[in-house]
Amino acid sequence: MLSEILQMERCETLLLAVSLNLSRGLSSNLPQRYISLSLCLCLSVSLSLFCTLALSYLPPQQQQQKTAVNIKSLLKRLYSLSHHPNPYKRLGSALTFKQIYRVFREDPTLVDVFVLEMLHNNIFSLRLAHNDDPSLATAHLGASVIRSLAHVAARHSQILLKPNKARREHKNLEDFVEWLFKVIS
Tens digit of each residue's pLDDT (9 = 90 or more) over 67-81:
556 678 788 888 988
Among 85, 80, 93, 88, residue whose Cα is nearest residue 23: 88
Tell me what the mean pLDDT of segment 154-168 comes to: 92
Work out the burial of residue 31: count CB atoms within 10 Å of its CB; fewer than 13 is exposed, 13-18 middle, 19 or more buried.
exposed
pLDDT of 163 strictly over 90: yes
pLDDT of 176 strictly over 90: yes
pLDDT given for residue 60 in this prediction: 55
The dihedral built from the CA positions of residue 180, 40, 100 and 165, taken in this order, carries a sign that is: negative
3-class SS at 93? Answer: helix
- % of the chain beyond a pLDDT of 90: 32
pLDDT of 119 strictly over 90: yes
Q: What is the pLDDT of residues 74-110, one digit of tens each?
A: 888 889 889 999 888 888 889 888 888 888 888 888 8
pLDDT given for residue 162 in this prediction: 95
Helices then strands (H, E): number in the chain? 9, 0
How far lies 135's CA from each of 17, 26, 99, in Å?
23, 12, 21
pLDDT given for residue 6 in this prediction: 43
- 148 or 11, greater pLDDT: 148
Q: Alpha-carbon distance 51 to 71, whole Å? A: 7
pLDDT given for residue 35 in this prediction: 59
Q: Which of 33-37, 62-66, 164-168 has the highest mean pLDDT?
A: 164-168
Where is 70: in which H helix or E strand? Answer: helix 69-82
Tell me what the mean pLDDT of segment 136-159 comes to: 93
Q: What is the mean pLDDT of the chain?
A: 77
Q: Alpha-carbon distance 110 to 67, whole Å? A: 7
Confidence of residue 140 (pLDDT cuts 50, 70, 90): very high
pLDDT given for residue 1 in this prediction: 41
pLDDT given for residue 29 in this prediction: 55
